[in-house]
Chain A
Amino acid sequence: MSINRRNFFKVLGVTGVSLTTGTAIASRPEAGESETEFCGILYDSTRCIGCQSCEYACAETHGLPEPTEFPDPAVVRKTDETRRMVINAVTTDDGEIYVKKQCMHCNDPACGAACLTKAILKTEEGPVIWRSRKCMGCRYCMVSCPYDMPKFEYHSANPKIEKCDMCFDRVKEGGIPACAESCPAEALTFGTRRELIAEARKRIHDNPGQYVDHIYGEHEAGGTGYLYISPVPFEQLGFDTSLQKSSYPALTKEFLYAVPAVFVLWPAMLLGLQQATKNNNKNDHQNE
């Protein structure tokens, strides 16, 4: 096996999927078996100029309305059913800087584990996509996503889940996502996760003082496809840094593993009890 695969497991291992649960569950063994690596996008907020080119490109590519608001430090814009990504301006220790928000394309996505119809799927290429033919609109993906990214068209009789799909249609054809393509400042880099982490390290290393030494998304939520580097600590960019470092689906693994056990043990136990108490009736009547 090539170094790729070893690296893949290393990433997974470090993210703690297997460490914290004590059982060796590689979250996506299929992906581990194949040679493919997840793709992702590196967002460098020191380079972003807040021009919203990516937002326009995203809206156009996915047939959504053009953005009407501009980045403004006074408002925190959120993605919703009409926009899959937003650029926000934030006031930080380092002055006003920009930050992009969209689905993080987690390595082991909570939304995907939540979905009972596999409508949400972590593709081998890396994008986490939603498929309308499967979805039944239960919104459990929304409940589970730690970033609150799947959005629902509440005002439609045929509602869709809206969220960034990392332009899967382009990516699977070997293309790159519309936002990354449109960025004039090279703030968005598309590539394999491994390459992107190496690139991010390099930038942090080569430019002392310019970045905080933290690649957001390397470990958060078990590792995400989107990676961020920033000149200020990530709380200031509105990131929830209290998110756990291991993957979210790991939280339900114990329960799911218990299910087959209960299915075997319970009936046997119940039958035993039933047999044992069968003749107790008469005594019961006298005692009570």
Chain B
Amino acid sequence: MSKSQALYRDNDGQPVIKFILSELKPRGKWLTPFNIISIPVMLAGLVIIIFRFWYGIGAVSNVTQEVPWGLWKGFNVVTGVAFAGGAYVLTFMVYILNMKQYHSIVRVTVLNGFLSYLFYAGALILDLGRPWNIVNPLIGNSFGVSSVLFLVAWHFVLYMIAQLIEFSPVIAEWLGAKRMRKILAGMTVGTVILGITLSTLHQSGLGALFLMAKEKIHPLWYNEFIPILFFVSSIFAGLSMVIFEGSISQRVFFNHISEKNLQARNNIVHGLSKVCAVAMFAYFTLQLLVFLHGKRWDYLDTPLGYWYLTEMLGFVLLPMILFFVSYRKMNINHIKVAAILTIIGIIMNRLNVSIIGYRWDAAVRYVPSWMEVVVALTVVFTQIWIFRYIITRLPVLRDPPDWAKE
């Protein structure tokens, strides 16, 4: 057998194309609650997206000349990327700090991160007025190197490639491509290092995007440390998402997870809660210092001031304490509650910077239209669909095939 033929027939002698075709068929029940909700939303979203390209962004979106970035940027991109931070934190722990006990959730987290980025890029394109020029900052005929967005865009693209390489051994296992897997797995540490570097930069870069909007963002949220705050918060945002997503996967995909890994999961959640607590402590301290340094007392006794306090006390301080306490008491359920509170807090924070606190003094406030909301949800739902598709087929949660044991 020649080499290429060997590759081609690696999957137990089954031709790869035929195998992929057989894997394309839907599996499992159709009428799940998630499907019943998500299918109509996605269909409506599709129609709205066609509208948007035909008639312009203004036909479906409420963004204004003063508030040019709405829900798609503020929620799908700026907020979503924070939650995708779990991938770089976990790869850091597993491949750099060699904390092997977290290994069993690396794959699912990287997959999640990759898909998230893919769909944020999608949301970004939806929001671009002139998407056909998207190649300009990439192919080099017009590099706006002084632009933070330029860096963020590049890091996005490179990080997506890095994540794909990190995840690719799984694809190779699925296809039964043994040689391929070996090559790809050998690239892991290198790409992980690149990936963490890129993540540091674009997580903080997303915050740096708002640095020039100095007078436009409410003083309680604008400060020169936004990049650092965004970076630090992405650590526990990502991990909280890992905890949350894990507790759902555990229920929905339990038959894919081996007995041993199910057992290990509680220990993993427990360990992650400590990391979250410490990162949140650092974040809260930073926020406090920024607040004191900026002398923002006067703003506290206003509606937005109360909102700020709600965010900081109710959704940073409280979950932080909860993480600490439940770590000590080994209370997994409380850790999950803390994770959910943290997730809400991050959504609040990112929206406060990018939408709610942005042009907070404008006469006409931006409120997203229902169509924007539908499209925002469509993006999230489509992502979950693809995630589910991959989970049920590829060895992500499942143990890798025997031949691929490390």
Q: Identify the A interface with B (CB < 8 A).
A: 78, 80-81, 110, 112-119, 132-140, 142-144, 146, 148, 151-159, 240, 242-244, 248-249, 251-252, 254-256, 259, 262-263, 266-267, 270-271, 273-274, 277-278, 280-281, 284-285, 288
Contacts and interface: CB of A to CB of B under 8 A. Distances in A.
A270 B142 CA distance: 33
A285 B101 contact: yes
Interface stretch (B41-49, B204-212, B284-292): B204-212
B201 A158 contact: no
Contacts of A113: 146-147, 212
Contacts of A154: 56-58, 61, 63
Interface in B124-138: 124, 127-134, 136-137
Nearest to A157: B56
A255 B267 contact: no
Interface stretch (B162-170, B190-198, B248-256, B395-403): B190-198
B133 A117 contact: yes
Nearest to B197: A266
A116 B144 contact: yes
A266 B200 contact: yes
A255 B208 contact: yes
Contacts of B23: none
Q: Name the residue among B100, B132, B209, B212 with the largest chain A CB count within 10 angstroms.
A: B212
Nearest to A264: B197
A47 to B, nearest CB: 29
B40 interface: no
A248 B216 CA distance: 13
A242 B290 CA distance: 21
Nearest to A159: B129
B68 interface: yes
A117 B144 contact: yes
A259 B202 CA distance: 10
Nearest to B52: A157
A267 B134 CA distance: 29
Contacts of A116: 137, 144, 147, 149-150, 153
A267 B128 CA distance: 33
B69 A117 contact: no
B193 A270 contact: yes
Contact of B97 (A110, A242, A273): A273
Contacts of A274: 95-96, 98, 189, 193
B98 to A, nearest CB: 4
A134 B136 contact: yes
Given A139-B68, A154-B63, A270 B204 contact: no
A256 B196 CA distance: 18
B113 to A, nearest CB: 17
A136 B212 contact: no
A222 to B, nearest CB: 12
Nearest to B95: A274
Interface in B48-86: 53-59, 61, 63, 65-66, 68-69
Contact of B210 (A112, A138, A143): A143
Nearest to B129: A137
A267 B197 contact: yes
Nearest to B61: A154
A135 B130 contact: yes
30 contacts: A117-B136, A118-B143, A118-B144, A135-B129, A136-B137, A137-B128, A137-B131, A139-B69, A140-B209, A143-B68, A143-B216, A144-B213, A152-B129, A154-B61, A158-B130, A159-B56, A159-B57, A159-B129, A242-B215, A248-B214, A252-B211, A252-B212, A256-B148, A262-B201, A266-B193, A266-B200, A270-B193, A273-B96, A277-B96, A284-B98
B271 interface: yes
Given A148-B65, A157-B56, A248-B212, 16 more contacts: A81-B65, A115-B147, A116-B137, A134-B136, A134-B142, A137-B130, A137-B131, A143-B209, A143-B210, A146-B212, A159-B129, A255-B211, A270-B197, A281-B100, A284-B101, A288-B101
A143 B56 contact: no
B245 interface: no
B121 interface: no
Contacts of A248: 212, 214
